[in-house]
Structure 1
Amino acid sequence: MPDPNPAALDFLLTRRSRPAKTLNAPAPAREALMPILQAAARTPDHGKLEPWRMIVLERAALDRLAGAATDHAAKLGLEPEVAEKGRKQFADSPLCVAVIEVQRASPKIPEIEQTYSAGAVCLALLNAALASGWGANWLSGWVAHDRAFVEAHLGLGANERVAGYLHLGTESSVPPDRPRPDLDTITTWVSA
């Protein structure tokens, strides 16, 4: 007979990301952030490759990245609303953890499994932040996927990419729940 954890299951059944635009200071201090990072690092990792790392972006770094996003967007000729969305992701964030996928050469572990593990780190970090009482949101966008931007401003290597930017802070409003998938539509049962 399994040993259930009803509180954990209830949390997972009711969890809801908080829109990044509703997050304000204060953000978790280093001692409050460490257990959240620890929980994220417990993500399944086939082959113990640790195909990810985390970069904690504090206020001065976020301000630097907001300016860099504005400059880089101008060089790319991005539409003003797209450029502004990238800038605001850093400018408005109380604290951000960039989860970086690190592809490691392995004869046993396919690259796609390393990608999945990095995505799982993002979800684990998001859920750990929410479970700790913080508002949290997982974003990406052009500031995550533009190679020149992430290499120049986050120092990423050729074998690295941003799996997600996890924004953490104090929520200013509780969002309404949104419609959830219909399990009958997305689930197939196979018994033989």
Structure 2
Amino acid sequence: MPARNQPALDFLLNRRSRPAKLFTAPVPSRRELEEIITAALRVPDHGKLEPWRLIVVEKPAFARLAGLAEARALALGGDAEKIAKGRGQYDLGQLAVVVISSPKAAEKVPVSEQVLSAGAVCLGLVNAATAAGWGACWLTGWPAHDPVFVADAFGCAPHETVAGIVHVATPPADAPDRPRPDLDRIVTWMNA
């Protein structure tokens, strides 16, 4: 029987999601964030393809991103609600790591698996930051799915997408846990 890592399992079973809009300063130092990123990049990447890249957004850059989101919402004919939703996480952001899914041409590795690898980086960031004592929240929002916004904001090429924007900062003291899935409803066991 394999050795059980009970502290790691307990951490995963008890990790809580907290809203990024409640995060405050301080944020991790560069060295602390590099440790979190190093841990997060230990994901399946199919033969060292590294089908992702990361952009660290520091506090001063959030104002520019909020302005870009507002300008894009206006260009799309958006109303006040669309503008507010577009600006929201950027107006309140403290520090974030943007995970860009950047699939590579690879005959034996489907693009879908490369995109999933970028998603694994997002979850790795959330888990590593939380394990390091910080609050972490994986968001996207409509601007993250808009090709014009992501090209202007993050320099995304046409084949790239934003897998996630992982905010990392000081979380609120505590928050109630969200409802968790009912395993009996979503899990099917096959034995033949």
Asked whether the two chains share a fold, i.e. TM above 0.5, the reply is yes
Cα displacement string for residues 119-174 of structure 1 (whole angstroms, at most 9, x for unaligned residues) = 11100101111111101111111110100011012111122110000011101241
Name the structure 2 match of 1:64: 64
Distance in 1 (CA, whole Å) between partners of 2:162 and 2:80 is 23
Name the structure 2 match of 1:138: 138
Distance in 1 (CA, whole Å) between partners of 2:172 and 2:14 is 19
Unaligned 5+ segments in structure 2 are: none
Task: Tell me which amino acid in the other structure corresponds to 1:23.
Answer: F
Q: Mapping of 1:8-157 within 5 angstroms?
A: 8-157=8-157
TM-score by length of 1: 0.96
Structure 1 position 40, deviation (Å): 1.1
CA contact (8 A) 2:130 2:136 kept: yes
Task: Tell me which amino acid in the other structure corresponds to 2:149.
Answer: F
Task: Tell me which amino acid in the other structure corresponds to 2:110.
Answer: P
CA contact (8 A) 2:39 2:128 kept: yes
CA contact (8 A) 2:17 2:178 kept: no
Structure 1 position 82, deviation (Å): 2.1
Task: Tell me which amino acid in the other structure corresponds to 1:116.
Answer: L
Distance in 2 (CA, whole Å) between partners of 1:20 and 1:86 is 14
CA contact (8 A) 1:27 1:170 kept: yes
3-state DSSP of counterpart to 1:65: helix
Task: Tell me which amino acid in the other structure corresponds to 2:11.
Answer: F
Q: How many residues align?
A: 192
CA contact (8 A) 1:97 1:167 kept: yes
Distance in 2 (CA, whole Å) between partners of 1:51 and 1:63 is 28
3-state DSSP of counterpart to 1:167: strand
Task: Tell me which amino acid in the other structure corresponds to 1:148.
Answer: V
Identical amino acids, percent of aligned pairs: 55
Distance in 2 (CA, whole Å) between partners of 1:142 and 1:178 is 23
Distance in 2 (CA, whole Å) between partners of 1:173 and 1:83 is 30
Name the structure 2 match of 1:167: 167
